[in-house]
Structure 1
């Protein structure tokens, strides 16, 4: 069951999981924070979440391109 949970957490942008690993906080607490903050701030934390998801994906592609520059040609 944990393998399925980990797979879903990382494939669904992985923002909360990455923040939890970096900060040493449980992923569920970060998700709950985003949910409550979204309701209280009327959706603006979703913008932050999407920016973080975009940044994580761009960072992933940049690091892969540096390792093998001919990979995407």
Structure 2
């Protein structure tokens, strides 16, 4: 059980945070969003994983474009 917990911690720490950010945005629990992605992936034979990767890519680009700068000297 320790190996599963460490893998989960690693994925939550270094993952794309897609489900967490979506859950915050929708006002849901992150676990519910993750389970929905898993069911969607199985039901559509992998299309849910593709949607997950597209959202992760979009969030990464959004984070790179909209960087919060604290002063003018950060430019």
Same fold (TM over 0.5): yes
Which SS does the other structure have where 2:52 is aligned? Answer: helix
Which SS does the other structure have where 2:16 is aligned? Answer: coil
* Runs of 4 or more above 2 Å deviation: 7-11
**How much has 1:37 moved relative to structure 2?**
1.0
**How much has 1:21 moved relative to structure 2?**
0.2
| TM-score, normalization by structure 2 | 0.72
Figure out how many residues of one structure are paired with residues of the other and give that number: 65
Two-structure CA RMSD over aligned residues (Å): 2.4
Q: Counterpart in 1 of 2:49?
A: 46
- Give, in whole Å, the separation in 2 of the partners of 1:15 and 1:46: 12
Ranges in structure 1 where 5+ consecutive residues have no aligned partner:
none
| TM-score, normalization by structure 1 | 0.74
Deviations 1:19-69 (A, max 9, x none): 0000001000110111111111100011110010001000111112x847x
- Give, in whole Å, the separation in 2 of the partners of 1:29 and 1:9: 15
Alignment of 1:18-29 (within 5 A): 18-29=21-32
